[in-house]
Structure 1
Amino acid sequence: MDELLSRLCYSGPEGTEGVGVCRSGVETCTDGAWGSCAGEVRPTAELCDNADNDCDGSVDEALTRACYGGAPGTEGVGLCRAGTQTCSAGAWQGCQGAVLPAAESCDNADNDCDG
């Protein structure tokens, strides 16, 4: 009777369908009831992958993360602090602004970040 009936479906926020990675799915009528929306893609948190994951029309916008390349246990000790990486074209760029352990100098500061 109702077999082979199907329709497009989308349960994401209004205005996001067809934007970025967001796509409608298909639901099928089985035994007089519509099934789940198979294959739809809804907005998710933005990732550094050169795609519009949050379906707002922008790719990898304003994505940053902390970075630190010093020895474990030295971040936040003495002068050592994390820097920032920025996402560009789907790839994390170099760490900017990090302060890593350095040789001690006569400046009344913990340059080697050993506490």
Structure 2
Amino acid sequence: MAADRRSAILVCVHLSLTGCAVPTLDLTGKACDAAHPCVAGFECVSGSCVSSAATDGGSLECDAGLGACTPSTTQACGTDIGECQAGSQTCSSDGQWGTCVGSVGPAGEVCDGKDNDCNGGTDEWQSLSTSLCPLQLGVCAGSIQSCWAGEEQPCDEFSYGESYEADRERSCDALDNDCDGQTDEGLDDDADGWGVVVRCTA
């Protein structure tokens, strides 16, 4: 009986593992901070992830917060409020805004019916600079003229304060109430019964 022979045929199969193609994830503009840094290849610039390639040796044009701009472009600067006038500035070749040209800035507020300090108010007393009153001795020291309707007003008892006494001294208080450089002078020397009858000894 013939031997039963069986032939074995080996078939080699070459298997290869091919990975799936994953689209590149663009992280440009992704929010970032110290606690949430950008991935490798990106840098955190003003709170947004920016490709490192864009910041290495190139010119990165970003928003105004970085001070960058497009060369030769212009923009308004300053303000048009009150007496101020806006100007313009031009972006230089290195992407930086130049000096503001043609602008008129704020000045000290004076009594003229205009908004000199460009804050939206006119002749506001908190920052107003007016002329000194004629009398500057005694209790009148530092007195200034008031402003009304854009014009400085003559000084009066209100301007000089509650301790001011016009014409002559009437109070024995060791003050120069009539602002003539003397204190309690001639008080009741006319014997009219006004004030202290005896010489003032305040």
Shorter chain as denominator, the TM-score bin is 0.5 to 0.7
2:92 matched to 1:27?
Answer: no
Greater share of helix residues, 1 or 2? 2
Residue of structure 1 equivalent to 2:76: 8
Distance 1:102 1:87 in 2: 25
Which residues of 2 match residues 1-115 of structure 1 at below 5 A? 5-10=73-78, 17-32=79-94, 33-62=96-125, 63=128, 65=130, 67-70=132-135, 75-76=137-138, 80-82=139-141, 83-97=143-157, 98=160, 99=164, 102-103=167-168, 108=172, 113-115=181-183
Q: Deviations over 1:12-67 (max 9, x none)?
A: xxxxx332123321112444443200122333432222210222322112247574
Distance 1:113 1:36 in 2: 53
Aligned to 1:8, what secondary structure does the other structure show? strand
Amino acid at match of 2:83: V
- The TM-score normalised by the length of structure 1 is 0.58
Are residues 93 and 64 of structure 1, via their aligned partners in 2, closer, same or farther at CA, if it must alter by over 3 Å? farther
Shift of 1:104: 6.0
Distance 2:108 2:129 in 1: 13
Percent of pairs with identical residues: 34
Are residues 30 and 50 of structure 1, via their aligned partners in 2, closer, same or farther at CA, if it must alter by over 3 Å? same
Contact 1:64 1:86 (C-alpha < 8 Å) held by counterparts? no
Structure 2, unaligned runs of 5 or more: 1-70, 184-202
Distance 1:104 1:21 in 2: 46
Structure 1, unaligned runs of 5 or more: 11-16
Contact 1:69 1:100 (C-alpha < 8 Å) held by counterparts? no
Larger Rg: 2
Are residues 50 and 114 of structure 1, via their aligned partners in 2, closer, same or farther at CA, if it must alter by over 3 Å? same
- The TM-score normalised by the length of structure 2 is 0.38
Shift of 1:101: 6.8
Contact 2:84 2:106 (C-alpha < 8 Å) held by counterparts? yes
Which stretch shifts more, 53-62 or 26-35?
Answer: 26-35
Are residues 55 and 36 of structure 1, via their aligned partners in 2, closer, same or farther at CA, if it must alter by over 3 Å? same
Greater share of strand residues, 1 or 2? 1
Q: How many residues align?
A: 100
**Structure possessing the higher relative contact order (Cα contacts under 8 Å, 6 or more residues apart):** 1
